[in-house]
A and B are shown apart, each in its own frame.
Chain A
Amino acid sequence: MNQPVLRGNKIISGYGKLQVINGVDIHINKGELVTIIGPNGSGKSTLIKTLIGLVELFEGSVFFRDKDVSNMNPHEIIKAGIPLGYVPQLNNVFPSLTIEENLKIGLYIRKWDKAYQERLQELFDLFPILNERFKQKANLLSGGERQMLALARALMPSPEILILDEPTAALAPNIAEEMLQLIVSLKKSIGISILLVEQRAKRSMELSDRGYILVTGRIAAEGSAKELLSEDKIRKLYLGVRDTT
């Protein structure tokens, strides 16, 4: 068994006095694509924000490999050298910054030197549109292009784990499918671990290795994607499949 890249133990977290996550255990192994699904308001985004220090951890612990990052601020986690990339659901790019500046911010903690230029070229191979519109402001990009920029920014520091919060939100169905395929190809081509929160529950689970189903801040079910996809109750309740015959 792989050593988990990311591990959260008995996480209890929330906002102020409001407790949203109620004792969740979660882990992501190296090279895995793990999806968290669940109804609206179940705490999916809060859970991943807790893992990266954006939401206050009341109890429990978070480890990136052997490093305890519980109660660390996000910038402290990044500065500690934790190889992490995160794409939020909303505001996933800096709109008033150019594409160039967005990508520079992705590598903020390092010098913008030759290594930055080399990394830039690698990402231009993955996302050629960003090269074409390098000097334009991010607010001029379409929804799909923005997601590409957000992904590229998160990939700039060559992270070991990528955390994506609903990357297909507000995208047209065909673009959303392209985005999911892109995520899978990233996993295969560079062997990155990916933690994905998705509303397109069935499709994302089909593409994943493992999954968690979160309901009212608790894990209602977990297991390999195949197992989850094969359970009738889960298919009916959480994957939106009516015909189970």
Chain B
Amino acid sequence: MNCDTNMAIIPFDIVSNLSLAFIYTGMLIMLTIGLNMIYAVMKFSNFAHAEWVTLGMFSSWWFLQILSFNFPFDSESWNLDILGFSFPVDHIINNLFIQALFSFVIVGLLGVVSEFLIFGRLKRIKASPRSLTVASIGIGLIVRNLLSMFFGDFPKAKTVDCVTCTDSTTLPSWLDLRGIPIIKDIFPGISNFLPNFRESTIHIPFVRDPSVGTSLFPDLFPILGSQEILITGFELFIVLMSIIMVLAVDYMFKSTRFGVAMRATADSTELAQVSGINTKRIIYYTWFLAAGLTGFGAAFVRANQARFSTYGGFWLLLPIFAVVILGGVGSFRGGIIAALIIAFTRQITNIVFTQFQVTGGFEDFLEQLTGFTITFSPNYMDGIAFLVLILVLLIRPQGIYGSVESTRERV
């Protein structure tokens, strides 16, 4: 079954658009966890979250560039078989997990530094949550401008056939570390533990053609004709990993000793202290974890995008906030539902409005009927998504899974 043929028959491939909604959902879920955690524990809106995302994109990219510049390995690879799944294994420089972990640490440290230099001091002098929010806007602007100063305010392109872009690196000479021993020689086999995404595929049984895209369950829904859900292995991986991440964080937050201590600290620092909780340490851990997870997710989001810029996180900030509010502050599982609602509303709007603009479509019909030209651009999809957000909030002001108390006293 050929995908191109199907798309030629049906002007708009509705089913394949679903995969875009799923991918966007996964991306939103991954990037929402950190903001939700700060919202729930620190009780203010951290607008610097956008720049955590951006820094996560940049830092994973730096790490890749630095390593590939200094350790130009060959790219021989072999397959690692685990539970019937075959992972192509490559060297450490091409391993997105390693890059994402690097981003985790870098962005996590930014979170800790923000608390140490700014937020902690503001809280000590009893600054209101509004002041903290404004400070976070300032931190975000500073980080974004610093990134622009060092890397230029232009998109970083990646080649189409290489997800992690190890080619054509140009780094300043001071980063050239070619004199030192190669990691591969010191720790032989270290790079063979984790999968890489150089080829943009995971060889999962139902994947048909990894180099183009994949077809999931093509024969299950005959009513939809011969259309297929197109998704690359990497995109599927993002969706699955986002769900695993959010469920793991939800479990940690609700059921572990650390999670209970985090929530207790959020409720009353004084009472938590007299119960034996080192609240200062809990707060630093929270910042590190929240910022780190954002950086970790941002590394994967970057790898799935054609290009990124210093505004990479900024443009995602509003949908991310929408997911937190819609899901309910402090409810990570609610975030999954909220991300699905936002992503699918966007995508359905995209489909419907595109159909409206077809010659002889609803747009033309309205023009004939009223004499006015009213455009239905698919670019309005974010507006429609926020309209749905408002409607849901009118019914459940605390969000889908949130409690009323948790939405109080937050900006």
Task: Report A's interface with B, CB cutoff 8 A.
Answer: 52-54, 73-75, 78-79, 84, 86, 88, 91-97, 101, 104-106, 108-109, 112, 137, 139, 153
Binding site for A on B (CB under 8 A): 257, 260-261, 263-264, 266-268, 270-279, 330, 403, 405-406
A105 touches B275 (CB 8 A): yes
Q: Is the CB of B260 within 8 A of A73?
A: no
B405 touches A96 (CB 8 A): yes
Q: A96 contacts B267, CB within 8 Å?
A: yes
Please name the 7 residue pairs, one residue from A and one from B, whose CB atoms are nearest each other, closest first.
Answer: A78-B276, A109-B276, A74-B273, A94-B267, A91-B268, A74-B274, A86-B274
Contacts A91-B268, A95-B405, A96-B406 hold; do A78 and B263 have CB atoms under 8 A apart? Answer: no
Q: Closest CB of chain A to B44's CB: distance in Å? A: 16
CB–CB B271/A97 < 8 A: no
Contact of A52 with B274 at beta-carbon distance under 8 Å, contacts A96-B263, A97-B267 already known: yes
Do residues A105 and B268 form an inter-chain contact, with CB atoms below 8 A?
no
Within the assembled complex, what's the spacing in Å between the Cα atoms of A33 and B406?
38
Verify B264–A97 contact, CB threshold 8 A: yes
Chain A to chain B contacts (Cβ below 8 Å), 20 pairs: A74-B276, A78-B275, A79-B276, A88-B271, A88-B274, A94-B263, A94-B264, A94-B267, A94-B268, A94-B272, A96-B266, A96-B405, A97-B267, A101-B263, A104-B260, A105-B272, A105-B275, A108-B261, A109-B276, A112-B257
Cβ contacts under 8 Å, B263 to chain A: 94, 96-97, 101
Chain A residues whose CB sits within 8 angstroms of the CB of B330 once the complex forms: 96
A91-B403 contact, Cβ under 8 Å, with A101-B260, A108-B261? no
Q: Does A75 contact B273, Cβ atoms closer than 8 Å?
A: yes
Chain B residues with Cβ below 8 Å from A91 are 267-268, 270-271
State the CA gap A52–B274 with chains docked (Å): 8
Q: Which of B260, B261, B264, B271 has the most CB of A within 10 A?
A: B271
> CB < 8 Å: which of A75, A92, A95 contacts B278?
A75
Instruction: Please give me the residue from chain A that is nearest to B281 by CB atom.
Output: A75
> Chain A residues near B271 (CB, 8 Å)?
88, 91-94
Known interface pairs A73-B273, A94-B272, A108-B275; 20 further A-B residue pairs with C-beta atoms within 8 A, sorted by A's residue number: A54-B273, A75-B274, A78-B274, A88-B268, A88-B274, A94-B267, A94-B268, A96-B266, A96-B406, A101-B263, A101-B264, A105-B260, A105-B261, A105-B264, A105-B272, A105-B275, A108-B277, A109-B276, A139-B405, A153-B275
A75 touches B260 (CB 8 A): no
A75 touches B266 (CB 8 A): no
The interface residues of chain A lying within 8 Å CB-to-CB of B257 are 108, 112
**CA A12 to CA B267, docked complex, whole Å:** 30
Closest residue on chain B to residue A94 by CB atoms: B267
Q: Which residue of A lies closest to B124 (CB)?
A: A16
> In the complex, are the beta carbons of B270 and A75 less than 8 A apart?
no
Contact B276 A97 (CB under 8 A): no
**A71-B257 Cα distance, complex, nearest whole Å:** 27
Q: Could you say which residues of chain A place their CB within 8 Å of the CB of B261? A: 105, 108
Which residues of chain A have C-beta atoms less than 8 A from B405's C-beta?
95-96, 139
Contacts of A74 in B (CB 8 A): 270, 273-274, 276
B268 touches A75 (CB 8 A): no
Of A84, A86, A95, the residue contacting B267 (CB under 8 A) is: A95
Q: Take A97-B260, A139-B405 as given contacts and tell me if A75 and B267 are in contact as well, using a CB distance cutoff of 8 Å.
A: no
Cβ distance B120 to chain A, nearest Cβ, rounded Å: 15
Chain B residues within 8 Å of A112, by CB: 257
Cβ–Cβ < 8 Å partners of A94 in chain B: 263-264, 267-268, 271-272
Measured in the bound complex, the distance between the Cα atoms of B264 and A108 in whole Å is 11
A52: B residues at CB distance < 8 A:
274
The CA-CA distance from A101 to B265 in the complex, in Å, is 13
Taking the closest CB of chain B, its distance from the CB of A35, in whole angstroms, is 20
Considering only CB atoms, which chain A residue lies closest to B282 in the complex?
A75
Contact residues in B for A79 (Cβ distance below 8 Å): 276
Docked Cα-Cα span, A74 to B273, in Å, equals 6
Chain B residues positioned under 8 Å from A108 (CB to CB) = 257, 261, 275-277
Q: How far apart sit A97 and B255, CA to CA, in the bound complex (Å)?
A: 11
Residues of A within 8 A of B406 (CB): 96
Complex Cα–Cα for A105 and B273 (A) = 10
